[in-house]
Amino acid sequence: MNPEDRKTKQLPKVGIYGLTSCAGDQLTIVNCEDQILDIFGSAEISSFLMAKSDNTEGEIDVAIVEGSVSSKGDLEMLEDIRKRSKVLIALGNCACNGGPQAACVAAEDHKERMKQVYGDVKWSLPDPIDAKPLSAYVKVDMQITGCPIDKWEFLRALGRLVKGDGPIPISYPVCVECKYNENECLLFKNEMCLGPITLAGCNSVCINHNIPCFGCRGAVIEANVAGEAEMLVNMKHPQFPDRKNFDYQDVKNRAMMYGGNTMAELLDKAKVKGAKK
Amino acid sequence: MKEIKVEHLARVEGHGAITVEVDGRKVKDVKFEVLEGPRLFETITLGKTPAENLSVVPRICAICTLSHRYASLRGLEKCLDIKIPEKTHWMRELMLAGEAIESHSLHVYLLALPDLLGYPNAVAMVTKYADSVVQGLTLKKFGNSIMELCSARATHGENPIIGGFGKFPTNEKLYAIADQAKTLIPYAEGVIDILGNMQYPTFFEKETVFACCNPPDNQYGLVSDEIILSDGKKFSCEDYTKITNERVVPHSFAKRSLYKNSPFSVGSLARVNNLGDRLQERAGDAYEKYKNARWKKNPVYNNLAQAIELLYALEQVPVYVEKLVELKDPPIVKPKRQSGKGTGAVEAPRGTLYHSYEVKDGRMAKVDIITPTAQNYEDIEKYLRLAAEYMVSEGRKDDDVRFQLEVIARAYDPCISCSAHLVKLVRK
C-alpha cells in the first residue's frame, strides 16, 4: 500500500491473542524481523499483548488466536473474541489440535493428573478444564497449524486476508515436500516417521535433518492413519532382516503427541492389523 | 479497601496480572498472578520413550525452547549413560549462545527499552530511536539464525537429539555466523552504555540471594552440574530440590521456590552477580565499567545484565565456531542402558532450568521440571510488595503505581507460559 492510500483508506483491524500455549506462534510473528514493521503498517494491530501495551478490545476484522482452551478463563476470552471478530483464525497446533497438553486426553483422568503434578491441594480457584482446540467451542474460519507455525505460511495468509482474500489450504502430506527435497525415506531406515499422515507446509524440515516427522502439524486431510499404524507395527520383512516392528502403544503415543483428539479418534476407528490394543 | 490492578501484563510471554489490595495508605496484599492454563507437562510424557519426551518438553516455552532441549538432553543422557563427543558439546554450547542472543535482544530492545524510554512498544520508538529498534531486530534475527542453523528451526527445532545431532552444519555456514557475530559486537556495547548510564528508581531496593550454574575451570558460562549461590554455597544439580524446594499455595497453581525460607533470584542478574569476575574480553570490560553494589538489590538492573550477557554470547560464537570447524561430524551415540536416573541443569536466559528424570526399561518413569520463573516468583512478589508499599504510603496515583509495578515484573522477563507448573489464577 502506498503512503497516500494509507492516509485515506481505513486499515483492517487485526487482534492477535494467546490462550494456553508456549506462545511460540506469536513469537514466530515477532520473529518476522524483516516484515514486522510492514505487518504493523498493512493492518491496524489493535491488540497484541505479547508485543505492545496500548491495546484496545473492540470490533475487529480478523482475530488470530493461539493456544488451546485449557481453563474457564480461556473459554470466556475466546467467546468474547469470537463475538467481536468477522474472521477467526486458529494459529498453531494448540489452537488447531489442542497441542501437546491434549496428548493425554482420553488416556487419563484430568483431575488425577492435576493431583500428580500439584499434590492433594484444595484450590481456591475454579477447576481448570481439559485442553481442547478452539473448534470444540466456537466457529473457526481458518487454521494455520504447526508447532510452531511456518512464518511464510502465516505471512501469505495475513497478506491475503488484509486484502480481503481467502486462504489457500494445503491438502497434501509432508512426504510430498520430502520427495521434492530428495531425502532418503526414513521409513526405510526403520524410523517411526509420521510424514505420510501429517499435513505439509514445514518443507519437511525434520527429515531434511535425518530426524523422523513427529507430526507437529497434525493430521493431513483424509490421512490414512490405519495404513500408517499398520505399516509401523509390521516393519519386519524377509528382505530387510534388520528391521524391527514398533509397539502399537508407542505409535499411538507419537501420533497423539501433536495430533490430540483428532488422531485419537482416527486411531480408535482404525482396525490395525497386528496391533495389540 | 480498593484494588490497584494490572489486568494484563503486556510485553511478557504468557498471561500475567498484578493485584495490589490497598486500605487507605496501607498495602494489605500484593499478588503476582498467572492467568495461564495448566498444561501438566510432567504427566504428558510418562510411559513414553525418551525421544518422545525430548520432542515435547521444549514446547513448554517457545523462547527458551533450546534451554529446555539442552536440559532435557543432559538429564536423559545421564539416565541412559551416554557420553557425548566434543563436537556435539560445542554445537550445544553454540545453540545456547544463539538462544541467549535471541532472547536477550528481544527482551532488552523490544520489551524493556520501551519502558525505560517511555513508549508503549518498540514500533512506536522508531520515530526517535530507529537505530536501537533496527539493531535490536538485527541481533534477534542473528540469534534466530544460529538457533535455526543448530536446531533446524528458530523455534522447536528437532535437530539436537539424544546422543548427538541429526545433521551438523557445514563449515561455510559456521564461518559465516562467526563473521557476523564480530560485526554485531558494537550494537551490544551501545545498548550496554544506554542501560548503564540510565537512572533507576531506588525505593524498592533490598538484598537478595542469587543462584546460578557454576561452570567448571572458573569460566563464565551457561551449563554445569554444579549450582553456586551468592552466599558461596555450592551443591550438585542432582540435589536441586534443596534450593527449589517447591511449595504449592492454594491461591496459585504456580509452584514456588524458597532457599533457606527466603526468596531468591535466578537469571542474568544472578549470573553476572555470581560469576561476573570471570568475564573476559569486552564483556569483562563492560562488567568492570558498570559494576555496582546496587546490582545485588535492584532487579531492574537485570536488563543491563542481559545486555552484558548479550555481548558475552556474541564474543563466544566465534570461539565455538573455531572449535567446531576443526572437528569431524561424529555419529549418534547409542544408549548404554535403558534404565537410570539423572538431572540436567542449564542456564536458560531467565535462569537455572532443571530437568530431572527417571527412565525404566526405555520408558519415562519420572519427570520433574523446575523453570526459572517458578524460582523467581517469590522474589518478584517481594519486590512488587516493597515498591507498592512505598508508593501507596506516598499517596502516588494508581496509574504510576501500576506502571512502576509492571516495569519491575517485566525486568525479570517472566516467562509465564513456562507453565510446567504455572496455572490459572482467579480473575477477581
Which of residues B376 and B161 earns the better pLDDT score? B161
Burial (0-12, 13-18, 19+ Cβ within 10 Å), B91? buried
* Nearest-neighbour CA in chain B from A221: distance (Å): 24
Mean pLDDT of A64-82: 92
Q: What is the 3-state secondary structure (H, E, C) of B309-372?
A: HHHHHHHHHHHHHHHHHHCCCCCCCCCCCCCEEEEEEEEECCEEEEEEEEEECCEEEEEEEECH
Burial (0-12, 13-18, 19+ Cβ within 10 Å), A277? exposed
CB B105 within 8 A of CB B139: yes
Whole-number mean pLDDT of chain B? 88
Q: Which three cell numbers stand for residue B302?
A: 537485570
* Nearest-neighbour CA in chain A from B23: distance (Å): 23
pLDDT of amino acid B414:
66
What phi, psi does A253 have (nearest 5°)?
Answer: -55, -45
- The pLDDT tens digits of the residues spanning B92-108 come to 999 999 999 999 998 89
Contacts of B170 in chain A (CB under 8 A): none
- For the ranges A55-69, A263-277, B249-263, which has the lowest average pLDDT? B249-263
Which of residues B184 and A55 earns the better pLDDT score? B184
Mean pLDDT of B204-210: 94
CA pair distance B376, B384, nearest whole angstrom: 12
Is there a contact between A257 and B55 if contact means CB atoms under 8 Å apart? yes
pLDDT of amino acid B249:
59
Structure confidence at residue A114 as a pLDDT band (50, 70, 90)? low
Check CB contact of B141 with chain A, cutoff 8 Å: yes
Residue B10 has pLDDT above 70, yes or no: no
Determine the distance from the C-alpha atom of residue A271 to the mean position of all C-alpha atoms in its chain, rounded to a whole number: 26
Structure confidence at residue A1 as a pLDDT band (50, 70, 90)? very low
Measure the N-to-C terminal CA separation of chain A; round to a whole number of Å.
57
Structure confidence at residue A106 as a pLDDT band (50, 70, 90)? very low
* Nearest-neighbour CA in chain B from A164: distance (Å): 25
pLDDT of amino acid B62:
86
Check CB contact of B7 with chain A, cutoff 8 Å: no
Structure confidence at residue B419 as a pLDDT band (50, 70, 90)? very low
Burial (0-12, 13-18, 19+ Cβ within 10 Å), A87? middle
Is there a contact between B248 and A121 if contact means CB atoms under 8 Å apart? yes
Mean pLDDT of A111-123: 63
| Burial profile B223-242: b = 16 or more Cβ within 10 angstroms, e = fewer | bbbebbbbeeeeeebbebee
Nearest Cβ partner of A70 from B38, B156, B425?
B38
In A, minimum Cα distance to B42 occurs at A117
Structure confidence at residue A21 as a pLDDT band (50, 70, 90)? confident
**CA torsion sign, A77 to A79 to A83 to A86?**
positive
**CA torsion sign, B290 to B292 to B297 to B298?**
negative
Contacts of A37 in chain B (CB under 8 A): 123, 126
Check CB contact of B53 with chain A, cutoff 8 Å: no
Whole-number mean pLDDT of chain A? 86
Measure the N-to-C terminal CA separation of chain B; round to a whole number of Å.
14
Size of interface A-B (CB pairs under 8 A): 205
Is there a contact between A101 and B114 if contact means CB atoms under 8 Å apart? no
CB B69 within 8 A of CB B352: no
CA pair distance B364, B357, nearest whole angstrom: 7
Sheet strand arrangement including B16-23 = B2-6, B16-23, B26-34
Is there a contact between B251 and A124 if contact means CB atoms under 8 Å apart? yes
Query: Which element (helix H / strand E) includes A266?
Result: helix A248-269
Which of residues A123 and B232 earns the better pLDDT score? B232
Nearest Cβ partner of A40 from B120, B123, B251?
B123
- The pLDDT tens digits of the residues spanning A132-152 come to 899 999 999 999 999 999 999
- The pLDDT tens digits of the residues spanning B56-103 come to 999 988 888 999 999 999 999 999 999 999 999 999 999 999 999 999
The highest-level CATH class for domain B2-411 is mainly alpha
Is there a contact between B59 and A51 if contact means CB atoms under 8 Å apart? no
pLDDT of amino acid B418:
44
Contacts of A123 in chain B (CB under 8 A): 250, 253
pLDDT of amino acid B9:
52
- Structural domains in chain A, CATH included, are 3-162 (3.40.50.700), 174-269 (no CATH)
Structure confidence at residue A182 as a pLDDT band (50, 70, 90)? very high
| Burial profile B125-151: b = 16 or more Cβ within 10 angstroms, e = fewer | bbeebeebbebbbbbbbbbbbbbbbbb
- B187 contact partners, CB below 8 Å, separation of at least 6: B135, B138, B139
Ordered by start, the domain boundaries in chain B are 2-411
pLDDT of amino acid B428:
30
